[in-house]
Amino acid sequence: MTIKYQIQLLWQNMVTTRWRNNLTNSQMPRSNVTKSFVKENGLTVFTILGVLVGGSVGLLLKNNTGPWTPREIMYVSFPGELFLRMLKCLIVPLLVSSITSAIGSLDLSMSGKIATRAIVYYFITTVCAVILGIMLVTAIKPGKVGEKDLIDEIITEDVEKNTKVLTPDTLMDLVRNMFTDNIVQTTMYQYRTELSLPKNNTDPNLPLELYVIKGKQKEGSNVLGLVMFSIVLGTTIGRMREKGKILQDFFECLSDAMMIITSWVIWLSPIGVGFLITGKILEMKSLGMVVQQLGWYFLTVMLGLFLHGFGTIAVLFFLGTRKLPYRFVAKLSQVLATAFGTGSSSATMPVTIKCLDGMGIDPRVTRFVIPVGATINMDGTALYEAVAALFIAQYRKVYYSFGTIVAVSITATAASIGAAGIPQAGLVTMVMVLDTVGLPAKDVSLIIAVDWLLDRFRTTINVMCDSLGTILVNHLSKNDISKIDRHHAHDPHELEELGTSNGGDFKE
Ligand code: ASP
């Protein structure tokens, strides 16, 4: 799609929206207004209903029927699983084509400006989230107040494997994954250092530094590597100008095709999200017991997520745009419900892009800022990692100094960047934060019982922060973008005639 064509489309959209709005305000009869509301927001309403119905049915079945076998739970979760698979299948092609085409369509200095704004926003919000988490966990002291003896859960195989690594290994794996050595492999595997006991040595107390280092390819797309590669490819295509046009058109077209598929898959969200939640509730241990044991910890994380999402982010958003974010948050309900249902920022990414497109955000900003945010910006996860590590330290009565708190802030930030946008990935990267407090990695088992639920909430906040960040970056970049558009248009007055001289500022 050429820029000129995109501008024409934007104009057509604006005209139709303006016409529709005028009609709604003055001429439409009441019943038509309701109908038009249901038509425009029906899917969102049904998705939210899906979350509520799925949750209630899950609780009802759990409390009134006998224990469910894993096979029965698998049957119940099946429709949700299919929905998740469809979304996940879009991640790699959408991520690569969106980032590449977005950067390819901007010139280098413009992509640099957008990238800098996005990274600064991501960094500030993550650091604020960690600091808030630390303040709350220090003030509430959930590890000391009201906690009964915690039960060590049996930790999953994935977490178990990750417990045998050192912090430098995790950090270096993060960097290794950024610089992939095989782009095809990157779509399916990530690099992971594993430590094993040297041959003929069975000493369980052998320090980890003396273990044998092995590089393994772990299943799961290396999203960080794909993001980096797409940024480089997009920049190159942009620099090749006419010669690179064929590739630019290809990636633009692929991105558009993925968005069309997304608009089909999205119709399944009410059912998919509902069944996913019912299945998860059936899997859960007795809620009463869990709340009794981990109640304060749960409340601390929830309070932190709430204050961060609706306080810190709202303030930053207001400072940048002079507008409060709540109306935008309401418009993002579909996205937030999908994030809650899937527990995955990456799987929600197609829905997020679609929704922001509908809100009038410049596609070149959305297609760059959202995939990067879904990969590296996880404020909810960062906050949770800091709270969880200090909660376990309090519970284990491990003394921690101010220096340790600073170290926790740094590792929690790194752990959130390194966490994949998949369910409960934060639990895995938390090993590094625990190591900072001098706690054994297997202590993550103490908080596993509530992790699936907290994961839903932190994913929702992760996705909300990415979306509001995109709206903010779009707002801050509007003048630069319109300058570029004017520069690209053959006739400099053409854009003004088309009415896009606002640089694609968002609709409220
Ligand atoms: N599930 C989260 C996400 O996808 C990551 C995590 O905190 O575990 O954003």
**Ligand 1 pocket residue status of 421, Cβ below 6 Å:** yes
Q: pLDDT category, 35, cuts 50, 70, 90? A: low
Ligand 1 center to 419 CA (angstroms): 7
Residue bearing the CA closest to ligand 1, atom 1: 423
List of residues 6+ apart from 123 with CB closer than 8 A: none
Ligand 1 center to 250 CA (angstroms): 31
Ligand 1 center to 440 CA (angstroms): 22
Residue bearing the CA closest to ligand 1, atom 2: 459
**Alpha helices for 266-401 (secondary structure H):** 269-283, 287-307, 313-321, 326-331, 333-342, 345-358, 363-376, 379-395
Residue bearing the CA closest to ligand 1, atom 6: 426
Q: Is the pLDDT of residue 41 over 90?
A: no
**Ligand 1 pocket residue status of 458, Cβ below 6 Å:** yes
> What pLDDT, in 10s, does the model give residues 131-145?
999 999 999 998 886
Residue 34, pLDDT score: 66
What residues are paired with 194 via a beta bridge? 214
Ligand 1 center to 25 CA (angstroms): 41
**Ligand 1 pocket residue status of 413, Cβ below 6 Å:** no
Establish how many alpha carbons lie within 13 A of residue 441's alpha carbon, considering only the half-sphere containing its beta carbon.
20
SS3 label, residue 217: strand
Q: pTM (2 decimals)?
A: 0.82
Cα 380 from chain centre: 9
**Ligand 1 pocket residue status of 419, Cβ below 6 Å:** yes
**Alpha helices for 396-493 (secondary structure H):** 402-418, 425-436, 448-488
> What pLDDT, in 10s, does the model give residues 254-283?
999 999 999 999 999 999 999 999 998 898
Burial class (CB in 10 A: 0-12, 13-18, 19+), 474: buried
**Ligand 1 pocket residue status of 422, Cβ below 6 Å:** yes
Ligand 1 center to 114 CA (angstroms): 25
Ligand 1 center to 225 CA (angstroms): 18
pLDDT (average), residues 270-297: 84
> What pLDDT, in 10s, does the model give residues 381-394?
999 999 999 999 99
Domains of the chain, first to last: 50-493 (1.10.3860.10)
Mutate to test the pocket of ligand 1, among 416, 459, 460, 461 (most ligand atoms within 8 A of CB): 459
**Ligand 1 pocket residue status of 373, Cβ below 6 Å:** no
3-state SS of 303-319 is HHHHHHHHHHHHHHHHH
Q: Is the pLDDT of residue 371 over 60?
A: yes
Ligand 1 center to 470 CA (angstroms): 19
**Ligand 1 pocket residue status of 418, Cβ below 6 Å:** no
> What pLDDT, in 10s, does the model give residues 91-100?
999 999 999 9
Q: Is the pLDDT of residue 176 over 90?
A: yes
Q: pLDDT category, 215, cuts 50, 70, 90? A: confident
3-state SS of 349-365 is HHHHHHHHHHCCCCHHH
Cα 506 from Cα 469, distance rounded (Å): 13
